[in-house]
Every structure is written in C-alpha cells, then in structure tokens.
Structure 1
Amino acid sequence: MLCLSLNQSGHISDMKNLFKTVVFPTDLNIPTRNTTPTFRVICKVAFKMATMKAWQYKAIHGGLEKSIELNTSTPSPPSATLSKGQFLIQVITSAINPVDYKIPELGFPAKFIVGFPAIPGQDFCGRVVGASSSDDVFKVGDVVFGTLGKPTQVGTLSEYTVASSEGSAHLPNGVDPDQAAAVGTAGLTAFQCLPKDIVKPGCKVFINGGSGGTGTWGIQFARILGAEVTTSCSTHNVELCKSLGPVFDLVVDNVGSPGLYEHGAEFIKPGGSYFQIGTPASVAGAVTIVKRLFLPRYLGGGERPFRFISFASKHDDLVEIGKWLSEGKARAVIDEAFEFENVPKAFEKLKTGHATGKIIVHVDQK
C-alpha cells in the first residue's frame, strides 16, 4: 500500500518512501481535493511507475529487429532495490549501438550474458525519479545522461531503467537531451581512445571509420585536443595509409580492417600506437585480436604497440564531454531519430552499417 505522510504545509515529509512502494491496492483512491498539486502529481507518477512500456525479446528468431516486441505492462524496476550509487531514471532519449543487437544475436550464450527476457539499450538521457539514500550526487528531478555500461535485462529502450553514478553526468544547461543521449558508449569509447599523454597539440591521428558513431565523436575530440586528424570511411584503406608514410602518432581503428595493423610500421611513427575498437562478431574476428595482442614480430606479428579498446563508464569523462557540448566545441552527428513505436525500424537501419553518426530513439517527451 502507498503510505505518505504530509506535514502541516501539505507537502510530503518523506520523499524516499514514495519510491520504495511496490504494491498498490486496486481500490485506493487518489485524493484530488484538499491536497497540493505536488501531491497529486507525485501520486500519478508513482502509479505510472508500477508498470512501464518497454521493448523486450524472449528469444531471437531472424534477428533482433524481428524478435523484439513492445510490452506495455512490463514491471518497472523498484526503487527499493537500489544499491549505493544507483538511481532510477525516466528515459527521455535512448541511443542504440551495434552491441545492442550483437549480444542478443549470440543465441544461447546471451542467456548467460544478459538473461531472457531482456530489454536492449545502454545509452540514455533521462530524469532521476528515485535515488538510493546514500547518493549525494544525483537527486530526484535531476536530468542526467550517460550509459549503463553493458547490456542488462532492463535496458534503456524502456520508460524506466536503473543507472549508476559512475556511468552518468548532469545534463549541462543548453544541451539538448538528444545530443546528450548520443554520447554514451560511442562518446566514451572515442574519448578513451585519445589518451592525453599521446594526443597532444600537433600530433597526427588517423581514424579509420570516421563516419560512424564512435568515429564522428573521435574526429571532433582529437581536434579539440589539438591533433591533426586524417580519416577514412572506406574499408579499402591499407594502400591509402601506406602512401602517406610513417607520419601518425596514433591510429584508431573503428572497423577492424584486415591487414591494416600488420602494415602499421609503414604509416605509424616509431613509438606510435594502434588502437582497435571494432571487430567482426565472429570466431575469426576474435582470433585476429588475440594474434595482434600476443603474436611476436618474428612470427608475423605487428611492429607497433597494439591495444583493443573496451570503454569504461567514467563520470569524469562524461562531465568533460558534456562541457565540450555546452561550449559548442562538439556535437552529436545524428543520422536519424525514431519514435518509440518504431524501435524495430531503428535496428534495421543500424544493421545496414550505413548510418552516418548515431541513431536515437525518443522514449518520452523532453
């Protein structure tokens, strides 16, 4: 039952209890007279939060876009179960990434990685509607953006989800929620591929695959840091790089182009590095990564240091990216925005591989 205590001014005296309620009796009457507007609105929100609309998959048959279904009565995540550093958000905008369909389409292993049924999506911008008592950074009513950090059973293609303080930052004034939602996985990956001890004013960076979500962020971030940036949107780029000579301090490979790293000494300076993000979702792709990481030069390995980048959820990184957005130094390149009812079409577009920048989904009103 929903129990709220009002103080003499008619306001709720214990806001935390509101979001710990899980069970609502069907015959409970919400007072509409002799109560403050705040009380009536909060009661309405609490009832709405018992269930939510969400896109779910229970199994994959013919691809995620053909298996995902809109469930209008999905149980909402209860605030009573929030751990330290977690909070409940009402999603405004979600952005989707290849990992959102690649993990579910692994088939049986996905049951162990995520669990079924599950809601895809990691990246978001939304309003905090419930927070753990120990959270002193984010409060109810704050608008935040960030990423869940990994696929979960309650992803961001839903009205509500649970986010963490480490994977979130406050939305800066003047930044549109759509722009902020597009940061998440791609923005953090691009940011963390450009370490400041390597990327300094005047250094030269080559970004392979500059038209995708991570690539469009990476080009902008590298320029902000003062680098000279060269990029290619073609997978047939080995000859292009070789023709430029060993001029680059850093190569960021968003595609996982075959043979590019192996020829790295022909276009990367001595002491330069090669960072790879993208790789085909296959056994062959995994084998290639292992070879590049561990195969010595005399057995056919590369001559330049190799790293495979997997992003980490970092609050401070999101804050810095948000600052660049608010200052107009960077902006999200959004290929297309889909409404919530068109999520399958959004995944169809993403899987073509021809999106320029990010694909976002409007979940709620801004």
Structure 2
Amino acid sequence: MKAIQFTGYGDISEKVIISEIQKPILNKDEVLIETRSVSVNPLDIKVIEGKLKAVRKFKLPATLGYDVSGIVVDKDKNVTDFNIGDEVFSKVNKQGTFTEFVVVHKDIISLKPKNVNFEEAASLPLVGLTAIQALKRGKLKEGDKVLVHAGSGGVGSFAIQYAKYKGAYVYTTTSTENVEWVKKLGADVVIDYKSQNYLDIVSNVDLVLDTLGNKFTEDAFKVIKTGGKVISLVGPIDKETASRMKLNFFVKLILAWRRRKITKHIRLKSAYYSLIFMRANAKQLNEIAELVESGIVKTNLDKVFTFNDALQALLYVKKGRTKGKVVINVKA
C-alpha cells in the first residue's frame, strides 16, 4: 500500500516521498481502518524538520500523520464497540496515518460525526483534543475571560468555539484578511495583529491559550490577572511536566534554566503555567462528535489536496497562514 513518508530530517521538499509499504497487521484490541482522509498539522512540519528529535526517535523512512478518518474494515475479536463498516475518526498516539490503511487501538477511536464528511472529520481530532485539553488544564469556567492566539488556525478556531460554548468571554488575534471570518466563530473581541497591538487591548484575563510561543509566552503574563493561568502548546517545559516525564536531574536543570524568565513571571503574578502534551482520548473525541453534530462547533477547511499532492499540502501548512485545516484525501 502507499504511504507518505519522510526519509530524513531537513528540508520538506527534499525529504518527503510516496512509498510502498506493507499493509499493517491487527494486534489485540485494534481495528483496521481504510483511510479516507487525513489532516496536516504543524506538528508534521516539526517532525520532518527535526525539531522533535529530542522527544522521539523515528526509524526512517517513517510515515507521517496523526489524524485519520475512514471505515472499519477489520477488527480484533476483543473489539465490541465497533463494527465492520463503521465510519470513524481518531488521533493516533504513534505517528503514521498518511497511508491507505491504519491500525488503531479501540480506546482512541470514535464514530465520526454524522453530519460531516470524511474530509471534515479528519480535520477535527488533533486540534479539537488539543483545545479541549488545554482549556480543561486551565480550568476554564463560565464567565472567564480568555485570550486565544491565532484564532484562524486549527487549534485557535476550535478553541474559540469551545470556550464560547463554556460561557467564556473570548479575545483572539488574527490577520486583517481573517478578522470577519473569526468574528463569525463567536469571538467577542477580534484583534488584527497587523494594525493593532493586543497588549494595548487585552488585560486582566483569567486565561491565555498560547499557541505561538517565544515572546508571546512571556507576554501572556502581562495580560493575565494576578493568579491567572497561561497554558502553552509551544512554550518551555514546566516543572510539573518535567517531573511527569521522569527526566534525569541534569535535563531538569537545563529545562529549569530555559524557563527561568517564565518562572520569574509566575512568581510576580502568582500565576499558573503549564505546557500541554496532548494525548489521544476517545471520551473527548465523543464529546467533539456531539458538539459538531449539535452545531455548536463547526469544521473549518482551508484546502483539500489529493494524495499525490501531499508535498504541496505540507509546504502550504509550513507557510503558517492557513484559515482552518488542511486535509489530504487518501481515497476520494
């Protein structure tokens, strides 16, 4: 079967190929999914460029992809919650969905929302789970004020809708061309970063969802109230997360040095800071499906590419100017 793989770390144009690989074999508690659509995430770009080598080693060439939607075509005898022919979607923990068939553990799969197609379903898992887990980590509640950076991106656009569903007052940032579109997602204040400085507009918020990193992570502490929270997808590893990762003393020491500025901000604001490493979660996938079926959350597709144009899809996402999600049709 065909798969989209990367052969080494570096330039995307040089490292991505279409390969022939063996069809996966079912193991205990797994289902075999015939892939219909997959989505491209910034995470895929980081993997190819070698930015995650310290976190995970890949046996190259390696198949790309974390999101998948498709049809169950086989299952282990222990799987009782899914049947052959079920239309499902998932975010896998072990990379490798950019291929014609994928085996996935039964505990991280959900029936896809009935009111969306495979392309739309594939756009949901990673960004939806990331947004939900980040806002839950920040203990978002009704009446909270929250700043969501990059409101037109995959995580940002889902987070806006989910935060509004939870009763929050939402600020967000986006570019000029996306302002009206992001307003329609429900954000209360949409800030055009090309002509406005969000630091002049946002203050005393309960929570910042940091999707940008670097200076934006530090500046988040300028706009939260005393005792507020900063939940980051890309910032330094916090002390609690480092402990959960069971890192050795010297690695923890290096990480502590790297987050020294953040630590200072935490103390000055009596704030809570956490870096999110999202995990697959079937219960939350079911929640996403329910939100989509009820119309509370709408899918947002930017572009759909064919399987043969996967390289172009990756390069398009690398530009960082997507309006919603980019999807690849594995089987049209």
TM-score (norm 2): 0.80
User: What's the counterpart of residue 302 of structure 2?
Assistant: 335
When Rg is computed on C-alpha atoms for both structures, the one with the higher figure is 1
Q: Distance in 2 between matches of 1:178 and 1:70?
A: 20
User: What's the counterpart of residue 131 of structure 2?
Assistant: 190
SS in structure 1 opposite 2:135?
coil
Deviation per CA, 1:91-128: give whole Å up to 9, x if none: 00000112213123218948962211211011010111
User: What's the counterpart of residue 256 of structure 1?
Assistant: 213
Q: Percent identity?
A: 28
Deviates more, 1:218-227 or 1:95-104: 95-104
- Asked if the contact 1:94/1:124 (under 8 Å) is kept, the reply is yes
Q: Distance in 1 between matches of 2:56 and 2:155?
A: 27
Decide which of 30, 37, 59 is 1:93's aligned counterpart: 37
Deviation per CA, 1:179-221: give whole Å up to 9, x if none: 1110121111011111288322222111012121111111111
Kindly indicate whether residue 279 of structure 2 is the aligned counterpart of residue 312 of structure 1. yes
- Asked if the contact 1:167/1:313 (under 8 Å) is kept, the reply is yes
User: What's the counterpart of residue 187 of structure 2?
Assistant: none
User: What's the counterpart of residue 74 of structure 1?
Assistant: 21
Deviation per CA, 1:300-326: give whole Å up to 9, x if none: 876421111111111111101111111
- Asked if the contact 2:144/2:168 (under 8 Å) is kept, the reply is yes
Q: Cα 1:360–1:87, aligned 2, differ >3 Å: closer, same or farther?
A: same
Long gaps (5+) in structure 1: 1-51, 281-285
Q: Cα 1:101–1:131, aligned 2, differ >3 Å: closer, same or farther?
A: same
Q: Distance in 2 between matches of 1:230 and 1:192?
A: 19
For CA contacts below 8 A with separation 6 or more, give which structure has more relative contact order. 2
User: What's the counterpart of residue 167 of structure 1?
Assistant: 108
User: What's the counterpart of residue 251 of structure 2?
Assistant: none
Q: Cα 1:111–1:160, aligned 2, differ >3 Å: closer, same or farther?
A: farther
Instruction: Supply the AA of the counterpart residue of 2:121.
Output: A
Deviation per CA, 1:317-351: give whole Å up to 9, x if none: 11011111111111221111001110010011011
- Asked if the contact 1:208/1:231 (under 8 Å) is kept, the reply is yes
Q: Cα 1:225–1:107, aligned 2, differ >3 Å: closer, same or farther?
A: closer
Q: Distance in 2 between matches of 1:112 and 1:147?
A: 17
Q: Cα 1:83–1:114, aligned 2, differ >3 Å: closer, same or farther?
A: farther
- Asked if the contact 2:226/2:269 (under 8 Å) is kept, the reply is no
User: What's the counterpart of residue 354 of structure 1?
Assistant: 321
Superposition CA RMSD, Å: 2.9
Instruction: Supply the AA of the counterpart residue of 1:309.
Output: I
SS in structure 1 opposite 2:314?
helix
- Asked if the contact 1:339/1:363 (under 8 Å) is kept, the reply is yes
User: What's the counterpart of residue 15 of structure 1?
Assistant: none
Decide which of 153, 160, 170 is 1:229's aligned counterpart: 170
TM-score (norm 1): 0.73
SS in structure 1 opposite 2:259?
helix
Q: Distance in 2 between matches of 1:297 and 1:256?
A: 15
User: What's the counterpart of residue 58 of structure 1?
Assistant: 7
Long gaps (5+) in structure 2: 176-191, 237-253
Q: Distance in 2 between matches of 1:263 and 1:68?
A: 36
Instruction: Supply the AA of the counterpart residue of 2:318.
Output: K
Q: Matched residue pairs, number?
A: 298
